[in-house]
Amino acid sequence: MASFFRTAVRGPSAGLFRAVARPQPVAARVSLFSTSSRFRSEHHEETFEEFTARYEKEFDGVQDVFELQRNLNNAFAYDLVPSPSVLAAALKAARRVNDFPTAVRVFEGIKAKVENKGQYEQYLAELKPLREELGITLKEDLYPEEAN
């Protein structure tokens, strides 16, 4: 029955039974429908240093708010806290595209990702000179009554 459908799809041929499927190698069958192999993975584990270098480069190339926010969402989606150098690149990108709210939200993301308040304080201390240079205030400073 399957050969009949193949014949109908291919159109008329010289012989009725010529359209019977010949065995093909597995790679040929897979490549008809997909450009990637189902049997092996091409991905490797990325080290923290590779992650940091990749996102620093991504933020250095940001040209608009959409790219900035997309890169921030991707960076914070991992099960780790981005390094201060990645966050510095993100803050500089936010300044470059003139997006103050996203710059403030970077610090909210840090606060949500760290394990304890001490780690958050370390990030604040590390990024304080850049925050002052770029004129970025924290949400805690903007709304002190909400700070918990």
Extents of the domains making up the chain: 2-33, 48-146
pLDDT above 90 covers what percent of the chain? Answer: 57
Half-sphere exposure of 87 (CA within 13 A, CB side): 27
Q: Which fold has domain 48-146?
A: 1.25.40
- Give dist(CA 128, CA 116) in Å, integer: 19
Half-sphere exposure of 75 (CA within 13 A, CB side): 30
Query: What radius of gyration do the chain's Cα atoms show?
Result: 27
pLDDT above 70 covers what percent of the chain? Answer: 70
Torsional sign, CA 135, 140, 144, 146: positive
Query: At 18, phi and psi to the nearest 5?
Result: -70, -25
Question: Are 62 and 93 a contacting pair, CB within 8 Å?
Answer: yes
pLDDT digits (tens, 9 = 90+) for 85-122: 999 999 999 999 999 999 999 999 999 999 999 999 99
pLDDT of residue 23: 56
- Give dist(CA 10, CA 2) in Å, integer: 12
Q: Is the pTM of this model over 0.85?
A: no
